Amino acid sequence: MGKVIWKPGTFLYPLPVVMVSCGTMEKSNIITVAWTGILNTNPATVYISVRPSRYSYHLIREQGEFVINLTNKNLVKATDWCGVKTGAKVDKFKEMNLHKEKAKFVKCPMIQESPVSVECKVKEIKEMGTHHVFIADVLSIDADETYMNEKGAFDISKCDLIAYANGHYYALGKKLGKFGFSVQKKKKNKRNKK
Sorting pLDDT into bands at 50, 70 and 90, what band is 190? low
Length of the chain, in residues: 194
- φ, ψ for residue 61, nearest 5 deg: -65, -45
Is a pLDDT exceeding 70 seen at residue 191?
no
State pLDDT tens for residues 127-158. 999 999 999 999 999 999 999 988 988 888 88
Taking 3-state DSSP, the helix, strand and coil percentages for the chain, each rounded to the nearest 5, stand at: 15, 40, 45
Average pLDDT value for residue range 172-181: 87
Looking at the domain assignment, is residue 47 inside a domain? Answer: yes
State pLDDT tens for residues 55-75. 999 999 999 999 999 999 999
**Distance in angstroms (rounded) separating the CA atoms of residues 60 and 37:** 17
CB neighbour burial string for 98-131, b if at least 16 within 10 angstroms, e if fewer? bebbebeebbbbbbebbbbbbbbebeebeeeeeb
Q: Give me the domain span that covers residue 136.
A: 15-171
Residue of 67 and 176 predicted with greater confidence: 67
Looking at the domain assignment, is residue 98 inside a domain? Answer: yes
Is a pLDDT exceeding 80 seen at residue 82?
yes
CA dist list (Å): 66 to 93, 130, 167: 15, 20, 24
Sheet of 168-171: strand order equals 15-16, 162-165, 168-171
CATH number at residue 137: 2.30.110.10
Instruction: Provide the number of structural domains found in the chain.
Output: 1
Looking at the domain assignment, is residue 7 inside a domain? Answer: no
Is a pLDDT exceeding 90 seen at residue 174?
no
Sorting pLDDT into bands at 50, 70 and 90, what band is 192? low
**Average pLDDT in the chain:** 93
Looking at the domain assignment, is residue 179 inside a domain? Answer: no
Determine if the peptide bond prior to 115 is cis (ω within 30°).
Answer: no
**Distance in angstroms (rounded) separating the CA atoms of residues 110 and 45:** 18
Give the pLDDT confidence score for residue 101 in this predicted structure: 98
Looking at the domain assignment, is residue 8 inside a domain? Answer: no
CA dist list (Å): 69 to 6, 22, 118: 33, 11, 6
Looking at the domain assignment, is residue 183 inside a domain? Answer: no
Dihedral (CA of 104, 172, 166, 86) sign: negative
- φ, ψ for residue 59, nearest 5 deg: -60, -45
Looking at the domain assignment, is residue 117 inside a domain? Answer: yes
Sorting pLDDT into bands at 50, 70 and 90, what band is 189? low
Widest Cα–Cα separation across the chain: 78
State pLDDT tens for residues 17-29. 999 999 999 999 9
Is a pLDDT exceeding 70 seen at residue 93?
yes
**Distance in angstroms (rounded) separating the CA atoms of residues 118 and 138:** 7
Looking at the domain assignment, is residue 103 inside a domain? Answer: yes
Average pLDDT value for residue range 66-88: 97
Sorting pLDDT into bands at 50, 70 and 90, what band is 10? confident
